[in-house]
Amino acid sequence: MIGLILVLKASKSALKYYVFEAGAKDPISQGKVRGIGEDGTGEIWHELTEGKVYTPDLSIPTVEAALASALRMMETNGVPVSSLAAVAHRVVHTADRFTESRLVDDEVIDAINEFALLAPDHNPATIDGIRAAEKLLPNLPNVAVFDTSFFSQLPDATAGYALPAELSDKLRLRKVGFHGPTHSYVANRVSLLLGRHELKQIVVYLGRWASISAIDSGRPIEVSTGITPIDGLPGRTVSGSIDPGIHRYVCEKTGMSIEEFDQLLREGSGLFGMTGQKSMVDVWAAADEGDQQARVGLGILVHRIVSLIAAYHVVLGGAQAISFTGTAGEQDHRLRRAVCDRLEVIGVDLDQNINEKTHSDVRSRIISTPHSAIPVLMIQQREALAIAREACALLEAQAEAVGQEEAE
């Protein structure tokens, strides 16, 4: 049995960490270090069973410093670093290079570097996190769990771009999808809750970033994100799909560089860019007060979600389940209702009472009526758990293989 797994999710400004016991559903320790590289504005939120420990006004210049702070916080609050057995890293982008989790080696590092331009907020920080773990936890194996591996086997008709084949082959230009561990985990939970493995389902992930997938009996058929996580749905600060011709037009008319416009699409667009509001709660409040931009922003988001669900319903040959997950997917009952009201045409019948009482503190559940032609569910996002489970499965398989070799 594998011991404690430390899960790390690194970005350019933050490091999230979780400690799981093998086989457990909930972390025994978790937290977030924010403000990396922002002198004097760093902070740590460390969650305990009875509350949170908050440490503000820190200088956290690097991901290594963030990990060192996290390890000290864990030690102080009852999780000795010596009890850790492995480190699992969320890796956002390696295209279709890997179809399953891997122990970190030079090939993995090279792939993360190769696709850093397509995930600049995450890939460089992930390498920093791996190097920090190797330095601060030198005796532990490091496991890479890839966002893109679940979607790496999308059908060619789904994944291909209408570009010259030579260019696509040279640069590996194809849709790879993101949030793979979450979509896979949610699909499995839906199947368990409905008691059906052979199930055509649509998973709607709504958070800072957002994506929708179509999954048939555990196999991905379609996903809204493309070769970058910007594609698809608008997120909190992310634009989602836009006309590719906008890039040249905006850059020539405004004098922006392509790098500046790319940053705008990732950090200054989405609901924040459309409405000026920083949270869904603020967007709904502004819309309730008659703010036209907030109403338009919500309208665009709901329209995009509904359009993709409708398309994937047809792609699947008739969806048999629809699930919502992610921060907004779990907490925002008004957004779920706005989407499901538009889906009545395909027989969706939301239980308004259950929906309004369902949020991320409630365990995963069905939120549609028994009469709904398609069951609708809210599923808790458990990305860190999914990553820990993948890492455990890899390490246990390797330990078993070593045991068999020694027995022979």
Count of CB atoms within 10 A of residue 26's CB? 12
Strands of the sheet containing 219-223, edge to edge, are 219-223, 210-216, 200-206, 321-325, 376-378, 365-366
In 3D, which of 194, 73, 45, 67 has the Cα closest to residue 132?
67
Burial class (CB in 10 A: 0-12, 13-18, 19+), 139: exposed
Place of tokens 């907004």: 328
For 197, list phi and psi in degrees, rounded to 5: -80, -45
CA angle 277, 279, 283 (to 5 degrees): 55
114 DSSP 8-state letter = H
State the Cα torsion 380-221-118-127 to the nearest 10°.
60
Half-sphere exposure of 402 (CA within 13 A, CB side): 6
Dist CA 290 CA 97 (whole Å) = 48
Q: Which pairs from 249-252 meet CB under 8 Å and 24+ separation?
A: none
Q: For residue 147, indicate whether it is catalytic.
A: yes
Beta bridge partners of 46: 31, 53
Angle at 338 between CA 335 and CA 341, to 5 degrees: 145
Out of 147, 231, 332, 351, pick the active-site residue. 147
Strand 84-91 relative to strand 102-103, pairing: unpaired
Report DSSP letters for 251-315, one per residue: HHHH---HHHHHHHHHHS-HHHHHHS-SSHHHHHHHHHTT-HHHHHHHHHHHHHHHHHHHHHHHH
Is residue 10 within 8 A of residue 126, CB to CB? The reply is: yes
Task: Give the CA count within 13 Å in the CB-facing half-sphere of 244.
Answer: 3
Q: Which residues are catalytic?
A: 147
